[in-house]
Structure 1
Amino acid sequence: MSGAQPWGFTDDRGTELGAARVPERVVAYVRAGAALLDLGVTPVAVYGSGHDGPGYDPAKAGGLDAAGVPYLGPGRALDEGLLRELRPDVIVDVTYDGKSPYALDEAVADRLGVPLAALSVGNELTLPEILDRFGELSGSLRAAGVAGVAGPVPSAGAADGTGPTAPTAPAGLRDLVEAEAVLRGVAGRTGLAVLALSGAGPDQVHLARPQAWPELARLAALGVRLLDPGPGPGANWLTADWGRVAELRPDLILFDDRFHAVPPYETPPGTRLAAWNPETPPSPAAYARFFRDLAEVLAA
Structure 2
Amino acid sequence: MVTVPRRGLIALAAAALLGTAACGGTQAPPAAAPSSADPSASASAAGPWTWTDDRGKEISLPKRPERVVAQAGSAAALWDFGVRPVAVFGPHRLKDGGRDPEVGEVDISTVETIGNVWGEFNVEKYISVQPELLVAGMYIKDSLWYVPDESKEAIEAVAPTLGVALGGKKLTEVIGRYADLAAALGADPRAAPVVEAKTRFETASAQLKELAAARPGLKVMVITATPESMYVAYLPDHPDLAYFAELGLGLVSPAAATESEGGFWEVLSWENADKYEADVILVDARAQSMKVEEMAKKPTWNDLPAVKAGQVYPWRAAERYSYLGYAKVMEELKTNLESAKDDVVG
Same fold at TM > 0.5: yes
- Number of equivalenced pairs: 276
* Structure that is richer in strand per residue: 1
Quote the residue 2:84 is aligned against. Answer: 42
The 1:150–1:185 alpha-carbon spacing in structure 2 relative to 1, beyond 3 Å, is closer
Counterpart residue identity of residue 93, structure 1: A
Quote the residue 1:259 is aligned against. Answer: 287
Where structure 2 has 5 or more consecutive residues not aligned to the other structure, the ranges are 1-29, 32-44, 296-300, 340-346
1:193 partnered with 2:237: no
Scaled by the length of structure 1, what TM-score is found?
0.83
Quote the residue 1:110 is aligned against. Answer: 156
Superposed CA RMSD:
2.6
Q: Distance in 2 between matches of 1:263 and 1:75?
A: 19
The 1:188–1:150 alpha-carbon spacing in structure 2 relative to 1, beyond 3 Å, is closer
Alignment deviations for residues 78-100 of structure 1 (CA, whole Å, 9 cap, x no partner): 22111111111110011123322
Quote the residue 1:96 is aligned against. Answer: 139
Counterpart residue identity of residue 273, structure 1: V
Alignment deviations for residues 213-249 of structure 1 (CA, whole Å, 9 cap, x no partner): 1111100000110102455723211111344343422
Q: Distance in 2 between matches of 1:28 and 1:56?
A: 19
1:70 partnered with 2:112: yes
Alignment deviations for residues 268-289 of structure 1 (CA, whole Å, 9 cap, x no partner): 3115122113221111110111
The 1:296–1:245 alpha-carbon spacing in structure 2 relative to 1, beyond 3 Å, is farther
Quote the residue 2:64 is aligned against. Answer: 22
Quote the residue 1:216 is aligned against. Answer: 241
Quote the residue 1:239 is aligned against. Answer: 267
Q: Distance in 2 between matches of 1:87 and 1:254?
A: 41
Q: Distance in 1 between matches of 2:78 and 2:232?
A: 29
Q: Distance in 1 between matches of 2:122 and 2:94?
A: 14
Alpha-carbon contact 1:206-1:240 (below 8 Å) kept: yes
Q: Distance in 2 between matches of 1:35 and 1:108?
A: 26
Quote the residue 1:129 is aligned against. Answer: 173
Alignment deviations for residues 60-119 of structure 1 (CA, whole Å, 9 cap, x no partner): 12112456433322474322111111111110011123322122143133221x111100
User: Percent of pairs identical after alignment?
Assistant: 26
Q: Distance in 2 between matches of 1:150 and 1:285?
A: 13
Quote the residue 1:85 is aligned against. Answer: 128
Q: Distance in 1 between matches of 2:113 and 2:64?
A: 24
SS at match of 2:274: helix
The 1:67–1:34 alpha-carbon spacing in structure 2 relative to 1, beyond 3 Å, is farther
In the TM superposition, structure 1's runs of 4+ consecutive aligned residues that sit over 4 Å from their partners are 52-57
Scaled by the length of structure 2, what TM-score is found?
0.73
Quote the residue 1:158 is aligned against. Answer: none
Where structure 1 has 5 or more consecutive residues not aligned to the other structure, the ranges are 143-147, 154-166
Counterpart residue identity of residue 253, structure 1: I
